[in-house]
Amino acid sequence: AQSVTQLDSQVPVFEEAPVELRCNYSSSVSVYLFWYVQYPNQGLQLLLKYLSGSTLVKGINGFEAEFNKSQTSFHLRKPSVHISDTAEYFCAVSLDNQGGKLIFGQGTELSVKP
């Protein structure tokens, strides 16, 4: 069975500092990978996705992620964060032959301080 582990439940960081949110997955077959962001009291919004092709994926708001098949990781990065990036971030995987069901990690709460 597939699973997703987000290694940090909370990440505090100062404004304009770089940040990396870590995500590892387990699967014996190829997966699609996603990062979603959830601002307080809102639904989830897609940041970026990896379906195939280049392993470096760029998303919205200056975020990017790198798919590493050998390490089964899909870490999210941003070189310089803003206060407005404060939110919860979810990593998720899906298999094309399973109806597109998403399996989510536990979430990482990013807190950007001035």
Partner 1 sequence: NAGVTQTPKFQVLKTGQSMTLQCAQDMNHNSMYWYRQDPGMGLRLIYYSASEGTTDKGEVPNGYNVSRLNKREFSLRLESAAPSQTSVYFCASRADRAQVTYNEQFFGPGTRLTVL
3-state secondary structure of 96: helix
3-state secondary structure of 62: helix
Q: Does 74 bind partner 1 (CB under 8 A)?
A: no
CB of residue 31 to partner 1, shortest distance in Å? 11
Q: Does 105 bind partner 1 (CB under 8 A)?
A: yes
Site for partner 1, residues 12 to 31, rule: CB under 8 A: none
**Residue of 2, 8, 15, 32 that binds partner 1 (CB under 8 A):** 32
Number of residues that bind partner 1 (CB under 8 A): 25
- In the complex, the residues that contact partner 1 under the rule CB under 8 A are 4, 6, 9, 32, 34, 36, 42-46, 49, 51, 90, 94, 96, 99-107
